[in-house]
Amino acid sequence: MMDKSSDMPSANSAHLYERALKVLPGGNTRTTVFFKPHPLYAQKGDGCRVTDVDGTVRIDAINNFTSLIHGYNHPDINAAITGQLASGMCFGLPTEAEISLAELLCDRVESVEQVRFMNSGTEAVMTAIKSARAYTGRPMIAKCEGSYHGTYDFAEISEGASPDRWGDRDRPHAVASSLGTPQGVLSDVLVLPFNDIEVSEKLLLEHAERLACILIDPMPNRVGLIQASPDYLAMLRRVADKTGSLLIFDEIIAFRLGYSGAQGAISVKPDLTTFGKIIGGGFPVGALGGNADIMAVFDPRPGKPSVPHGGTFTANPMTMVAGQVAMQLLTRESFVQLQSLGDQLQGGIEATFKAQGIEGQVTGSGSLRRIHFGTARLRDYRSSYADAAKQRRMSALHQAMLRNGVLMAPTGLTALSTAMTPDDITQIVDAFAKSLASSSVAAS
């Protein structure tokens, strides 16, 4: 049965959404998975394919917003989870599994000597900021305009600032993401223009005495999935050292980029790194890593630590064993495979834009790529900002991709998995060609 409004079989999803509307605000409990007229509800996943409740099978090119790097139903991850399930899902005691996953992260990431686990990336960023404040005794954080770091009050400032509120480029306003954010939060966040060395350095030095940390994602999705330039990162490192503040890399998505994460390919090293997504093997997770001197803020041996931190499900062994196996499966060769799939996807999409005479481009690297309409050079949040017309086109593309058998993010973000083959990428590119040609997408 077809749902008239979306022209694809979705009667069962429509029915679930009707039910959801009664008990969930707007029928939704996770903004990122909402789209109009209603979301499609998942039934099951296998490899790189997801089946919705109306029985339509699609290639999953978003992988739970980048977290499922091996797709669904990997036998080794499943075996680890079912093995742990039989021994206990969680305990009021630590388990060996948390030590093993921490050892793996310390082995892979040079800047990480010790790790603290959490249950989400939001918590990881929040805890990183609290550690930086405790370690430096200062209140302020600096972050780049547009960059998303989860929903902690301070971290979400200016993550989606609109042109009427973002202020001067040389001094971006700190824009609240949620209504009612206290003024005190806004005045403790310094917003930097991404990749603008001169302006960012000037702003940072102006606030040197209050600055606890500089938080940066080396390839922030909401800034357009553009890489931070090596010179920009070097400036941030220099300023952090000069001002005695901490440099924090948010690798919650970017850890997907290489065997040692994004920082494996960057000469600048952070003081602290936040992790999430792939390190949980499909389960909820977050982690914070850094050198032992800073991580001592959590050490309970002297009494109450400088940063008390617990969490009922923190380091639960289900997440820990799934994460360890998922990470072990990610060999250096896996990253070569993912890079090649990503390059194939990008090449195919760029060639399709060209062949159809439509202006568009692709940003990103490795297994992360993002489709944009327009060909203007993207260098920061403002140049990547999609106006209402571009948003409508992207939404039409997203819907058309769903009709043509591909699930991607409504923003044009794609995240590939090791479960994919070059044939799957060809299928995504073919779906893109059909979708782009449809009149609602082609119209500007």
Nearer to ligand PLP, 56 or 414 (CB): 414
The Cα 147–Cα 151 span in angstroms is: 12
Q: How far is the CB of 204 from ligand PLP (least distance, A)?
A: 21
Nearer to ligand PLP, 196 or 250 (CB): 250
Please name which of 385, 435, 431 lies closest in space to residue 411, comparing C-alpha atoms.
385
Nearer to ligand PLP, 123 or 188 (CB): 123
Q: How far is the CB of 276 from ligand PLP (least distance, A)?
A: 4
Nearer to ligand PLP, 363 or 427 (CB): 363
Q: How far is the CB of 73 from ligand PLP (least distance, A)?
A: 22
Q: How far is the CB of 284 from ligand PLP (least distance, A)?
A: 7
Report which residue's Cβ sits closest to ligand PLP. 121
The Cα 184–Cα 418 span in angstroms is: 44
Nearer to ligand PLP, 191 or 253 (CB): 253
Q: How far is the CB of 120 from ligand PLP (least distance, A)?
A: 4
Q: How far is the CB of 177 from ligand PLP (least distance, A)?
A: 13
- Residues forming the site for ligand PLP (CB under 6 A): 65, 120-122, 125, 148-150, 217, 250, 252-253, 276, 286
Q: How far is the CB of 99 from ligand PLP (least distance, A)?
A: 22
Nearer to ligand PLP, 367 or 435 (CB): 367
Nearer to ligand PLP, 256 or 393 (CB): 256
Nearer to ligand PLP, 3 or 217 (CB): 217
Q: How far is the CB of 220 from ligand PLP (least distance, A)?
A: 7
Q: How far is the CB of 251 from ligand PLP (least distance, A)?
A: 8
Q: What is the dihedral of CA 333, 335, 339, 344, to 10 degrees?
A: 60
Nearer to ligand PLP, 114 or 127 (CB): 127
Nearer to ligand PLP, 39 or 276 (CB): 276
Please name which of 291, 295, 248 lies closest in space to residue 106, comparing C-alpha atoms.
291
Residues in the chain: 444
Contact 264, 258 (CB under 8 A): yes
Q: How far is the CB of 119 from ligand PLP (least distance, A)?
A: 8
